[in-house]
Amino acid sequence: MGGGGGGAAAGVELSANLGEFRLEKVLSKDEAGKKVYLLGEVGGARAVLKLERAGWSDAAISGLLVPSTAVDKSFSNDVYSKYSAERGGVVADLTCPATDKHVSKATHHPMVLVEETAEGYAAVTRPFIEAIPPSRLQWVYNILEKKAEAERLIYEDADAEVGFVLMPDLKWDGADSNACYCLAIVHRHDVRSLRDLTAAHLPMLRGVLEKGRQAVEVKYGIPADKLRVFVHYQPSYYHFHVHFVHVEAHAGGQAIGKAHLLSDVITNLELCPGYYQRATLAYTLSEGDPLYNAWEAHRSAGGAEQQAALPRKD
């Protein structure tokens, strides 16, 4: 076993049950790995105990999906709803009816790195975005129009040009401030992604960054230097939104090839007003993503912009 500390003291073991561990305090939690580290005593000796949840077995899944597992609904918005189960501390997120995009997002696929030039965006990605039915964003419009989840909003700037709403993301249950994850959604509908941003959007971006940070600190007591504020490219939906995540959080989507710090985005636009219309942007895609399929179709048709974008398959 790895670890530090010298000495030849004999080890102390649990003889029968976890009740022999006398808890002093929680040292840390690893939400991603479902682990918790505890400080306490066993048999009068100081001890550190790591508890880790087992993975999901088929039997465990089947055991939950029975009529006796009652659920309480937390919220619903369009095709999305969230529940807490009365057994096992399980939180359930339901998407129904689910599109192919929903199914692909939840399925494991091999990943590839795409290097998208401005020409590649114009030839493949922009037409892909424009072909997405507006109904896919109905849940976003419900939030902005306060037809759903209005009680979850923690801040709003109602200005139609630079305003936004801020709310806790569904990834966060609100229990642990170090796992804080909030989401800002802008009011204007004409900014779909990073590619649409120009210097004209700087007042909106600065407002989201500054007012969003202030709102999180007022609501949760988390200062600006404890937050990562970033946007995704590619985003999971094409209405501009910004992620506010505690620096200690083990949330996904913060890696290179996905996340762009909002402060960097602002600086890039200050230096070059058309930066995101000209830049080559690299991002990861799963091979099951519909956008990946669009790139593959473009390459099969002989699209010159695609030759350097995706790894060639022999």
Active centre residues (catalytic): 241
Q: Any binding-site annotation on 121?
A: no
**Nearest alpha-carbon partner for 23 in 62, 55, 49, 51:** 49
Which 8-state DSSP code applies to residue 29? E
Q: Is 230 annotated as a binding residue?
A: no
User: 137-141, long-range: CB within 8 Å, 24+ apart, which pairs?
Assistant: 137/237, 137/238, 137/239, 138/78, 139/77, 139/78, 139/79, 139/80, 140/185, 140/237, 140/239
139 marked among binding-site residues? yes
Cβ atoms of residues 227 and 242 within 8 Å: no
The answer to whether the annotation marks 238 as part of a ligand binding site is yes
Give SS3 for 93: strand
239 labeled binding residue: yes
- In 3D space, the residue among 218, 222, 219 whose CA is nearest the CA of residue 245 turns out to be 222
Annotated binding-site residue? 234:
yes
Decide: 85 and 71 in contact? Cβ < 8 Å. yes
Q: Is 80 annotated as a binding residue?
A: no
Report the C-alpha dihedral over residues 267, 268, 270, 272, rounded to 10 degrees: 160
SS3 72: strand
236 is in an annotated binding site: yes
Is 237 annotated as a binding-site member?
Answer: yes
Tokens 């913060």 belong to residue:
254
- 201 annotated as a binding-site residue: no
Expressed in angstroms, the distance from the first to the final Cα of the chain is 44
**Are residues 277 and 198 in contact, defined by beta-carbon separation less than 8 angstroms?**
yes
CA angle at residue 214 from 209 to 219, to 5 degrees? 130
- 141 labeled binding residue: no
**Where are the strands (E) in 120-254, listed by range?**
155-157, 164-168, 181-186, 227-232, 241-246
149 annotated ligand binder: yes
37 carries a ligand binding annotation = no
Q: Which of 222, 203, 133 is nearest to 162 (CA)?
A: 203
Residue 228 token pair: 């990562």
Q: Does 246 carry a binding-site annotation?
A: no
Q: Which residues make up each annotated binding site for substrate?
A: 139, 149, 169, 171, 232-243
Residue positions in the annotated binding site? 139, 149, 169, 171, 232-243
